[in-house]
Each structure stands twice: as structure tokens, then as C-alpha cells.
């Protein structure tokens, strides 16, 4: 039984079957990659996993509880965080302020502490944010404005904003998209460290096979919304179903 269990998920957008009978089981503390060509349904699946999209049929259980129909802050409180396909950071705030933001919620126009993870005071939040910035090698940039940072740094900042929520499951939508190779390699090392040090289960959507093979223990290949094959990295190279998924494009 995985910490994340997806069963029989279907989702249509009008006449388009974006997800068709998706089943997925991700064991605790593992890294699972979801790959597939553009439009295969990867981001749609991630939206379902964070409760943002309700599937037409099927269930999504995280640690025995359904995620469906929950609000974003409830999903975070359950222990699920997500890095979006496009970084979602506050450009006019500093790095430190960005990392502290997820620990607050706006109520009646005022910011209040949001009970996420183990933080319960403003001092806790500052300490936690500093520890996490140190972990992602950004402590020296804590007073920089997010707008002035490189794409790779913005991605690392977004990861820090997830880690401050002390997730048990981290979902990443193309975490290295648009990065130079050196930044990609740093991100791989960082994700390995996070997975090992913090025991965080990860599901990664990724087009870059170097990233997939460096990190994933299991790989699901999605094509036209349906998982074609789920395998270990060793067994997926040259798999005929992968060629079928990419319609002959050389990917692996």
C-alpha cells in the first residue's frame, strides 16, 4: 500500500479524455517519475493529486485520506506540497519573506499564523525558514528580492517555500524546465538530499531523462491520459511502450 494511492481516475475536458483510467501507487520515501509527451495529461494528473481538479470518476488517497474536494491549505496541512510548472513566487518580496509566506494565512485583511507543520510562533517560522534556506544553499541570498534571481534560484526558492510546510509528499512539475545543465545538476543533488535527509516522498513530472534516470526509482509513462507502462529506470530504456508513447520521437 503506497502513501499515495490513485485508483480508476478519469477526467474529461469536453470531448477530450485528459485522464483515462489512471492507477498509481507510490510507496513512502520513494521518488516516482511521471513522463510522457506534451499534452499526455501529466499536469492534469498533478492537479487531481492536489485536489485542484475533481476527476469524473476514481479516488485519490493520501495516507488513507481522500484529497478530493479539499482546499489548497487543507492539502498542505495533510502534508502535500507542490512545485508548479511555472514558478509561483512573490517577485517584490525578499527570498526570506517568500519562504515565510506559506506559514501565514490572510484572514479579514490581516495575516495570521497558519498552523502548518511544527511551527507555532513567528520566531519558529524565522528559524525554520533560515534552516531551509541553508539546506537549499540560499541563506546568503535571504535579503535579495526574488525578482532579481536566476531561473535556477527561483526554482530553489519555490522548493524552499514547499519545504517550510514540512511536506511528506512533494509534487514537482518539470522542476528543471529551462535550466542550464549546471543548474539542473544542482537541482538533482538538492532533490536527492531532500528525499534522503527529510524522508519526503516525491512525484516528479519531467521531460529531461537525465533528471528522471538520476532520481526516480519507478517511472510511469503516460500517453493520451493513460499509463502505458510502469517500470524501473533500467527496464524502461528502449521499452517498446515508451516508443509508442512518444510516437517514435527519440526520447530514451
Spacing of C-alpha 138 from chain mean position:
20
* Separation between Cα atoms, residue 142 and residue 127, nearest integer Å: 13
Q: Cell digits for 90?
A: 512573490
- Name the segment binding Mg ion (CB under 5 A); options: 9-17, 43-51, 222-230, 237-245: 43-51
* Residue 40 interaction partner, one of Mg ion, ligand ATP, none, beta carbon < 5-8 Å per kind: ligand ATP
Helices of type H across the chain: 42-49, 72-78, 95-100, 122-135, 151-163, 181-198, 209-215, 233-236, 240-245
Residues that bind ligand ATP (CB under 6 A): 13, 16, 18, 36, 38-44
- Residue 10 CB, shortest distance to ligand ATP, in Å, is 13
| CB of 55 vs ligand ATP, minimal distance in Å | 13
CA 251 to chain centre: 22
- How many Cα neighbours within 13 Å face the side chain of 132? 26
Give the cell for residue 250: 527519440
Q: How far apart are CA 244 and CA 235, in angstroms?
A: 15
Pick between residue 11 and residue 70 the one whose CB is nearest to ligand ATP: 11
Whichever of 84 and 104 has its CB closer to ligand ATP, that residue is: 84
Cell numbers at 105, concatenated: 494565512
Q: Is 43 in the site for Mg ion (CB under 5 A)?
A: yes
Tell me which stretch binds Mg ion (CB under 5 A): 39-47, 73-81, 164-172, 229-237: 39-47
From the CB of 199, what's the least distance to ligand ATP, in Å? 27
Smallest distance, ligand ATP to C-beta of residue 221, A = 11
224 binds Mg ion (CB under 5 A): no
Q: Which residues bind Mg ion (CB under 5 A)?
A: 42-43
Amino acid at each position: 500500500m503506497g502513501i499515495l494511492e490513485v485508483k480508476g481516475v478519469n477526467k474529461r475536458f469536453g470531448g477530450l479524455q485528459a485522464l483515462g483510467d489512471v492507477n498509481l501507487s507510490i510507496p513512502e520515501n520513494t521518488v516516482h517519475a511521471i513522463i510522457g509527451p506534451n499534452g499526455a495529461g501529466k499536469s492534469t494528473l498533478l492537479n487531481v493529486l492536489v485536489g485542484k481538479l475533481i476527476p469524473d470518476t476514481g479516488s485519490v488517497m493520501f495516507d488513507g485520506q481522500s484529497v478530493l474536494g479539499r482546499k489548497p491549505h487543507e492539502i498542505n496541512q495533510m502534508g502535500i506540497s507542490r512545485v508548479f510548472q511555472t514558478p509561483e513566487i512573490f517577485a517584490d518580496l525578499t527570498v526570506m519573506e517568500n519562504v515565510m509566506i506559506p506559514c501565514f494565512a490572510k484572514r479579514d485583511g490581516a495575516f495570521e499564523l497558519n498552523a502548518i507543520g511544527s511551527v507555532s510562533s513567528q520566531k519558529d517560522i524565522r528559524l525554520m525558514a533560515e534552516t531551509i534556506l541553508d539546506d537549499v544553499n540560499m541563506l546568503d541570498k535571504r535579503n535579495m528580492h526574488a525578482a532579481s534571481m536566476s531561473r535556477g534560484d527561483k526554482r530553489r526558492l519555490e522548493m524552499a517555500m514547499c519545504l517550510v510546510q514540512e511536506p511528506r509528499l512533494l509534487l514537482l512539475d518539470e522542476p528543471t524546465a529551462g535550466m542550464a545543465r549546471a543548474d539542473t545538476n544542482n537541482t538533482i543533488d538538492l532533490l536527492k538530499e531532500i528525499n534522503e535527509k527529510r524522508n519526503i516522498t516525491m512525484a516528479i513530472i519531467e521531460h529531461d531523462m537525465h533528471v528522471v534516470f538520476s532520481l526516480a526509482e519507478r517511472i510511469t509513462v503516460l500517453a493520451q491520459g493513460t499509463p502505458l507502462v510502469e517500470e524501473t529506470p533500467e527496464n524502461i530504456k528502449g521499452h517498446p511502450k515508451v516508443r509508442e508513447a512518444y510516437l517514435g520521437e527519440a526520447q530514451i
